[in-house]
Structure 1
Amino acid sequence: MSDMNTPASANRPPRQPRTGLTSTGARKAGSKSDRSRAREFALQGLYQHLVGGNPVDDIDSFTRDLAGFSKADAVHFDSLLQGCVAEAAQLDALITHLLDRPMAEISPIEHAIMWIGVYELSHCLDVPWRVVLNECVELAKEFGGTDGHKYVNAVLNGIAPTLRAAEVESDRGQVKKPRA
């Protein structure tokens, strides 16, 4: 029973910040860029395509009506959704040889995240390869299975040297050597 003189807010837990990390290690909504949000919406759309077989135009219309879409980079969303669906067979061909199981056994969430990663590595050269991997790992932490982020990271790390050879080699060559 609360005291009549105590304000209602005194009985509530302290307000949590909107930025930073959640308990699972994923970024909170306030920390996300417009492109990160576009990836989240593209992931939702690709999931609808993979699981329900929904037409991409229907998915696009539905997704644009979702709360928060106005904060996403709509051009990047279009590129990811349309591009991943149009190039699904090519994306799967790049992914399949790095899997330790048949594609049918991969979660549709991880499958869609890997599509996003491979598509961005192939077509979004303005996004550094390490950013692509990090963004996909973050998606997998937030939406995927318990250790799905590790699997996504391993597959995309295996593909990156093929799709971004010079960039990956340059980055890996810049690893600081210990001083003697």
Structure 2
Amino acid sequence: MTIPPDIAHRRHTHARSHARRLAMQALYQWQLTGYPAREILNQYADDPEMEKADWEYFRRLLLGVTAETAQLDAAITPHLDRPMEQVDPVERALLRLAAYELHHCPEVPYKVVIHEAVALAKKYGAEQGHRFVNGVIDKVAAALRH
């Protein structure tokens, strides 16, 4: 029996959302601990939450963001009202994650990238941090996806 396309699409979308959340958490850990990204990646391989996530997308996000942090920060920094080091660590992880998706995942609509980043900021970021993330990522999207 084949899965109807609409159900398969919802499963795929849901798995990517889980991958983004776990990638944000892994990036937060990477930022605070300085552990190598591959070591953090291995820790998540055993995480029961990974069963709901798209492992390959999670891997792509974590390794991509950590490999290209300088380039991502260069794309984000012109749109900040403070130095990157002063941005809340959760919001910093989300900004980098969204900038990576905007630059390297053209198959993901920019509105989806913004929506997912804002939703994660509402749940895990500082109070009103979602507004900051929304404003910055909106400008980054305009610059990267003109």
TM-score normalised by structure 2 residue count: 0.89
Q: Distance in 2 between matches of 1:127 and 1:97?
A: 23
1:94 and 2:75 correspond: yes
Question: 2:60, 2:40 → 1: CA distance?
Answer: 14
Is 1:83 matched up with 2:64? yes
Q: Which has the higher contact order (CA 8 A, sep 6+)?
A: 2
Q: Provide the residue aligned with 1:56 in structure 2.
A: 37
Aligned match of 2:124: 143
Supply the distance in 2 between the matched residues of 1:155 and 1:54 (Cα, whole angstroms). 27
User: Unpaired runs of 5+ in structure 2?
Assistant: 1-12
- State how many pairs are aligned: 134
Gaps in structure 1 of 5+ consecutive residues: 1-31, 166-180
Higher fraction of helix: 2
Superimposed CA distance per residue, residues 136-167 of structure 1 (whole angstroms, 9 cap, x where no aligned partner)? 001101111111110000000111111111xx
Which residue number in structure 2 is paired with residue 129 of structure 1? 110
d(CA) in 2 for partners of 1:104, 1:87: 16
TM-score for the superposition, normalised by structure 1: 0.73
Counterpart CA distance in 2 for 1:86 and 1:63 is 18
The residue type paired with residue 133 of structure 1 is I
Instruction: Report runs of 4+ in structure 1 exceeding 3 Å deviation.
Output: none
Q: Which residue of 1 aligns with 2:87?
A: 106
| RMSD (Å) for aligned C-alpha atoms | 1.0
